[in-house]
A and B are shown apart, each in its own frame.
Chain A
Amino acid sequence: MRMSHVRNAVAIGILFVVIAFIYWAVPYFGGWHLDYAGVTMLAALGIAMALMAYVLVAGSPRE
């Protein structure tokens, strides 16, 4: 399995979005205080981390 494949960068992004979803869902269904700022930042972190991973993939020599 090639670690430098673009789909791995996408998977990293999705991982953070899933964490953001859990961070939203647990207090929402549990009836606790919901931290919308944290949810937003985690979801955006998914985009940023996916981009960072993409940069690493794209910047890696193919030799």
Chain B
Amino acid sequence: MTDRALTATAHGPLDELAHDERGGISNPILGMLLFITSEVMFFAGLFAAYFASRAAIAPWPPTEFEHTLEPLGIVFPATVLLVISSVTCQIGVNAIRRDDRSGFIRAIGITLVLGIVFLVIQIYDYGLLYSHGLTLASGPYGTTYYTLTGFHGAHVFGGVIMLAVVLYRGMAGQFSARHHDAVEGTSIYWHFVDVVWIGLYLTLYWLR
């Protein structure tokens, strides 16, 4: 990448992203934003299937699963951890923007650990739900629940891989205040995954 590709601009809400000297956004971030746009519609399809099923089936949740999904159960601390991980991810991005490499590595490392912990909690939660009889075969309720949370979990797993790569490259000294498009892109993706989870959590656990 040439120096020309990452000249900061002076004003406006887009200035924290990398731009070329004419003001155009950098290709990696442009690609990530387009990818996330497609992901919005992907999850929209899943949410649409959920709401359509929910509207067509009464009662919802089915009587036998009325108290299976507890909003303040183990999923609550998992949600808090994921929100905190978004904060630490942004702290890492801000650190590399200031060329603070040790702060960047520390924050991204914490984010990575929080992401892994979230996945472990989700797997544990799946075990609990299976023991309560909620499986993929439990009708539309079980199918939509596991499809929505499963695809989200797959995205978190993808984000964890991206964070691990960013952390490795950061420890190898490949990022600086001028060259860190991969960090910005990964951060945008991680925030997206976090926002989707908040939507899922509110829809699946709180919406009665």
Asked if chains A and B come from one complex, the reply is yes
Give chain A residues whose Cβ lies under 8 Å from the Cβ of B45: 41
B22 near A62 (CB under 8 angstroms)? Answer: yes
B22 near A63 (CB under 8 angstroms)? Answer: yes
Q: How far is the CB of B50 from chain A (nearest CB, A)?
A: 8
Give chain A residues whose Cβ lies under 8 Å from the Cβ of B41: 41, 44-45, 48
Q: A34-B55, A36-B55, A41-B45 are in contact. Are A60 and B40 (CB under 8 A)?
A: no
Give chain A residues whose Cβ lies under 8 Å from the Cβ of B131: none
B-side interface mostly: helix
Question: A58, A60, A61: which has the most chain B beta carbons within 10 Å?
Answer: A58
A-side interface residues, number (CB < 8 Å): 25
B22 near A44 (CB under 8 angstroms)? Answer: no
**Residue from A40, A54, A58, A59 in contact with B51 in the complex, judged by beta carbons closer than 8 Å:** A40
B-side interface residues, number (CB < 8 Å): 27
Q: What is the count of residue pairs linking A and B with beta-carbon distances less than 8 angstroms?
A: 71
Give chain A residues whose Cβ lies under 8 Å from the Cβ of B49: 37
Binary interface encoding of chain A residues 45-63 relative to chain B, with 1 for a CB under 8 A from any of its CBs, else 0:
1011001101101111111
Q: A44-B40, A55-B30 are in contact. Are A61 and B23 (CB under 8 A)?
A: yes
A-side interface mostly: helix
Q: Is B120 an interface residue (CB 8 A)?
A: no
> Chain B residue with minimal CB distance to A62?
B23
Q: A55-B25, A55-B34, A61-B24 are in contact. Are A6 and B40 (CB under 8 A)?
A: no
Closest 7 CB pairs of A and B: A44-B44, A62-B23, A36-B51, A37-B48, A61-B22, A37-B52, A58-B25
B residues touching A (Cβ–Cβ < 8 Å)?
Answer: 9, 12-14, 17, 22-25, 30, 33-34, 36-38, 40-41, 43-45, 47-49, 51-52, 54-55
A58-B24, A59-B30 known; 20 other A-B pairs, CB under 8 Å?
A6-B12, A36-B48, A36-B55, A37-B48, A37-B51, A40-B44, A40-B51, A41-B44, A41-B45, A45-B41, A48-B40, A52-B34, A54-B33, A55-B37, A57-B14, A58-B14, A58-B17, A59-B24, A60-B23, A62-B23
10 A-B residue pairs with CB within 8 Å: A6-B12, A6-B14, A39-B51, A40-B48, A45-B41, A51-B36, A51-B40, A61-B22, A61-B24, A63-B22
